[in-house]
Amino acid sequence: MKKKLVVLTGAGVSAESGVSTFRDSNGLWENYKVEDVASIEGWYCNPALVLDFYNQRRAQLATVRPNAAHYAIASLEDEWDVTVITQNVDNLHERAGSTRIIHLHGELTKVRPENCYNDRDNYSEETVFDIGTDAIKPGDLAPNGAQLRPHIVWFGEAVPKIEAAIDAVEAADIVLIVGTSLQVYPAAGLYRYARMDAPIYIIDPKDVSVRDSRLTHIKDVATKGMETFKNLLKSVD
């Protein structure tokens, strides 16, 4: 039986593919306030602006490809039982070949009715529609008659898949963190659910604030850091 490896990924993985991040100084976010396009309040205030913003992000997604880090993560499945938990809303892990992915913050290529938020509001996978990189606009309605909205977890909304992510981390024999600053909660606290005997590796070119005896810091970008990590795995039983 394969041992379990959980990979928690963030914007730093997709950034090397050319995907704009929150903190880019020259990306899609530069001309927008986060609260205007990534909060439920922003949606209520100006849904047309929000739809246009995510249409731009989908259009950009159509122009990028998975990078070496995405493929390296997917290749871990050859030897390990891998679960990818990602804060990214793109589909680059899927396109690289990863088969078990938990999208904590939603998926850019999907939409749902605006009146379906979570389990308490009758949210279910049956209400989610895959539109690929197509645009949606005001007046595009779901079968229930409600306006379609991006299938994104915005600031101020619950994270429906956090429990599944916690379960995966608790069961993991090894935890790998790639491309995330561990600043956005609840995702930032997931590593704390790892077993005490489970080693934790973090790939980040910058210093990390996490202090944990289980932690090994690979100080590099995602693509190069994954090469180092795979070499380290060879010494793991």
Rounded mean pLDDT of the chain? 88
CA distance to 25, 220, 226, per residue, from 204 (Å): 19, 5, 10
The pTM assigned to this predicted structure is 0.90
Q: Which residue ranges does the chain devote to CATH 3.40.50.1220?
A: 1-19+67-105+159-237
Span 111-157, pLDDT tens digits: 999 887 554 444 566 688 899 999 999 999 988 888 999 999 998 88
CATH of domain 22-63+110-152: 3.30.1600.10
User: In 78-218, which ranges are continuous DSSP H helix?
Assistant: 92-96, 162-171
Overall average pLDDT of the 176-197 stretch: 85
Q: Is 9 helix (H, G, I), strand (E, B) or coil?
A: strand
Q: pLDDT tier at 173 (50, 70, 90 boundaries)?
A: very high
Identify whether 105 is a catalytic site residue. yes
The residue ranking higher by pLDDT, 104 or 22, is: 104
174-213: burial string, b at 16+ Cβ within 10 Å, e else: bbbbbbbebeeeebbebbebbeeebbbbbbbeeebeeeee
Question: Of 93, 105, 151, 217, which one is the catalytic site residue?
Answer: 105
Confirm if 54 and 133 have CB atoms less than 8 A apart: no
Q: Which residue ranges does the chain devote to CATH 3.30.1600.10?
A: 22-63+110-152
pLDDT number for residue 121? 46
CB atoms near residue 236 (< 10 Å): 12
pLDDT number for residue 43? 94
Q: Is 199 helix (H, G, I), strand (E, B) or coil?
A: coil
- Reply yes or no on whether the pLDDT at 24 is more than 80: no
Q: Is 2 helix (H, G, I), strand (E, B) or coil?
A: coil
What are phi and psi for residue 9, nearest 5 degrees?
Answer: -115, 150
- Cα 153 to Cα 118: distance, rounded to the nearest angstrom: 10
- Category of 217 on φ-ψ map: left (φ > 0), alpha (ψ -120 to 50) or beta: beta
The residue ranking higher by pLDDT, 136 or 212, is: 136
Q: How far is CA 176 from the centre of its chain?
A: 14
H or E element, residue 214? none
Query: Longest Cα pair distance anywhere in the chain, in angstroms?
Result: 56
pLDDT number for residue 210? 77
Span 3-16, pLDDT tens digits: 999 999 998 899 88
CATH architecture of 1-19+67-105+159-237: 3-Layer(aba) Sandwich (3.40)
The mean-pLDDT minimum among 8-22, 35-49, 75-89, 132-146 falls in: 8-22
pLDDT number for residue 119? 46
Nearest Cα neighbor of 83 from 95, 71, 93, 92 is 93
Whole-number percent of the chain with pLDDT over 70: 90
